[in-house]
Structure 1
């Protein structure tokens, strides 16, 4: 192939940020020309900071919400660094730094008790809530930051109550260790969401670099701030109030910027209700801003996914009746009086089966609490009759309710599932948080020898 002199032989790119053009020279060598707009010096500095503080391949290697989240996360980290400095100064003053009457032993005992209480808090919280942190990462991230501000406030106020100083700082240490567990776990969940090229380690490492830079800036600012607040409680409280408000606002904006494509219960509930009312599936960019960020998202029913059989029934006849006509990989046990729905998952249940089972429970919740045009969607008067019975609280046959809602869900779920995929939701995995219990009820039909 003959190549003319000065002709572009090929081009190469580094993500979307750099483009090289290779041209042929008279002596046969290749000349590399960087496609650089005006202001090359600024671009060089920007590229340096991009390489140091952003994941390789940015922005293609991360989720679209990465930059907005990181900006607000940087603001909240700076504010937290300042309030943390104020708290450290208060604690050091409380343990006796600068006080000639205090002893090293008393200060050491206080510090040991503070750290020991925090360690216990870390273990207890991880045991009780660790499995739920993935499901509601946004809520727990915001919860962790609010609790962190409460702990810092306690430390700032502790010197004003010398008789209870040790107790206050121990409780604060307990809270801060809970913050460490919740914040670290949710940060890992958000990192998994942001990493789009199996680059979790790189995203996490660059996030650490960003946080270190912010903490360094906070440290330098604190060096200027400490002499001003050393003996001025009014200024200390004023600065704490200002930076705490900034911290909470930045955290709210940060978690609101996150747009997750996996379904947890809150997002599935919003999507499913919208589907029943409008026969369309809204995308993650529409549902995520509507997701509640405060714990205690109200549900009409308490739904337990992956419940053990012994928590539902100990009656063979009742279990066999639940199996009659069932062709799904889950079983529903509904107790309207107790306001509970227990879902037994089959050993072979996949993510789609879990989504369908949770949708079934949500359908029961919708029948109890909302006026939706179900007759328009499914054209079944029998379901409207079930809805009327449920709302009137009549003594209906639980099995007939489950049977009828099974038939309805079998009709609408294929369209619902296809709509989820088309709208950009991930169905191969979910954040619905099922328990680990799995039942194999097909064994009843096997012969034993």
Structure 2
């Protein structure tokens, strides 16, 4: 038998941690040697903590921004737990806990009205905004936390207005249920971004464990605070202000830490504008910190992506003009008087087609409102096209749009190549198109 004494047969690791070596023993058995620094007990405790509260395979199994986001998310959850306790105490006091003159039935009716109003808010908000939460997850996450702080403030102030107490707590319940829908939906969207090994369930479960631990810590701190704030409104308001500032700051840092590689309208606008100015596409790490986080961000040119045909034209001639010379999977209609562009998507349109259609609308916006000179096109031609967009009558818009199609065919291939090279995902997007799709090749099929 060959002498293998001291020779390493193989090495093994659990993710990027717990490296160990296997060596042969004289009797033929394998010996496992752990490659650990001193302080093995501490390392073992750390390993247990990581296995309980972090996804399996961390950090390789999650996105690079996972740790920074979770740290600030933990801070905001702790602050929210404290302010939530202050609000609960105020509501209980308002419904009559500790007051001999109040009745159980009155308190029950108030609580039922509060919950019922919240349920109605949950349904209405999910119906009106549910399809938009994926596209702007960071903005809606920040909105949810701001609204949550407003709802908590209303509950803390409610006992000071006994005549309007029921109305105030019902409104607060309405807001909190909106927070629940927006917060839960955006958390799911962020979990999808963070999970890198088809491990959404594990990432979500560990996030729940982290939140439970933080809420437990918040409850313990709340037990110490409750006797102090029971009859001290000034201290209650001071603590609310302190922890609300911490909560909002931590939420801002948390969403700023998220670096999404998929394109939504705000991120596409940023990278395309940069591309026109400098002939290069910035990566996600550069564009994400510049993305606006306040809801209400709108392009100067209103865009409807995936519009139904009947909303853009009722004229056969206009529809046929839009089809002339068009070799793309989208049709674009421009309404200068309303400052709007509507895009019809073909039934075969894929993610790249949607990105190109949205980029085309942004190119129109650049011609109308931006002072950007692209390096890919002749400056005089761009200035002439811009002048015609502003000065020519509306019935000439089709001719101008036809020229922009030709220009986009020159610009977009290089732009798409830059997107891929910079690390952006193009096989899916968060541009939020409507579900309408048109098949304008059907007449040609019937003629054969």
1:168 correspondence with 2:183: no
- Give yes or no for contact 1:63–1:196 (8 Å, CA) kept in 2: yes
Kindly state the Cα deviation for residue 394 of structure 1 after the two structures are TM-superposed: 5.7
Map residues 231-380 of structure 1 onto 2, 5 A cutoff.
231-374=231-374, 376-379=375-378
Aligned to 1:139: 139
- Give yes or no for contact 2:312–2:342 (8 Å, CA) kept in 1: yes
Query: Residue by residue, what CA displacement relative to the aligned partner does 1:122-173 show, whole Å, maximum 9, x if unpaired?
Result: 0000000000000000000000000000000000000000000000000000
Aligned to 1:151: 151
- Give yes or no for contact 2:373–2:379 (8 Å, CA) kept in 1: no
Aligned to 1:411: 410
Query: Residue by residue, what CA displacement relative to the aligned partner does 1:48-97 show, whole Å, maximum 9, x if unpaired?
Result: 10000000000000000000000000000000000000000000000000
- Give yes or no for contact 2:261–2:424 (8 Å, CA) kept in 1: yes
Kindly state the Cα deviation for residue 323 of structure 1 after the two structures are TM-superposed: 0.3
Aligned to 2:188: 188
Aligned to 2:33: 33
Distance 1:120 1:386 in 2: 51
Kindly state the Cα deviation for residue 197 of structure 1 after the two structures are TM-superposed: 0.2
Compute the RMSD of aligned alpha carbons.
1.2
Distance 1:445 1:229 in 2: 76
- Give yes or no for contact 2:389–2:397 (8 Å, CA) kept in 1: no
SS at match of 2:71: helix
Aligned to 2:101: 101
Distance 1:144 1:108 in 2: 28
SS at match of 1:294: coil
Q: 1:419 to 1:163 in 2, by over 3 A?
A: same
- Give yes or no for contact 2:73–2:250 (8 Å, CA) kept in 1: yes
SS at match of 2:102: coil
Distance 1:219 1:306 in 2: 48
Q: What are the ranges of 5 or more consecutive residues in structure 2 without an aligned counterpart?
A: none
Distance 2:65 2:47 in 1: 20
Corresponding residue pairs, total = 448
- Give yes or no for contact 2:10–2:22 (8 Å, CA) kept in 1: yes
SS at match of 1:446: helix
SS at match of 1:378: coil
- Give yes or no for contact 2:281–2:415 (8 Å, CA) kept in 1: yes
Distance 1:381 1:439 in 2: 36
- Give yes or no for contact 1:307–1:343 (8 Å, CA) kept in 2: yes
- Shifted more, 401-410 versus 345-354: the winner is 401-410
Distance 2:42 2:352 in 1: 49
Aligned to 1:88: 88
Q: What are the ranges of 5 or more consecutive residues in structure 1 without an aligned counterpart?
A: none
Distance 1:3 1:417 in 2: 59
Kindly state the Cα deviation for residue 389 of structure 1 after the two structures are TM-superposed: 2.7
SS at match of 1:121: helix
Distance 1:212 1:298 in 2: 37
Aligned to 1:386: 385
Q: 1:12 to 1:3 in 2, by over 3 A?
A: farther
- Give yes or no for contact 1:3–1:24 (8 Å, CA) kept in 2: no
TM-score by length of 2: 0.98
Kindly state the Cα deviation for residue 373 of structure 1 after the two structures are TM-superposed: 1.3
Query: Residue by residue, what CA displacement relative to the aligned partner does 1:253-290 show, whole Å, maximum 9, x if unpaired?
Result: 00000000000000000000000000000000000000
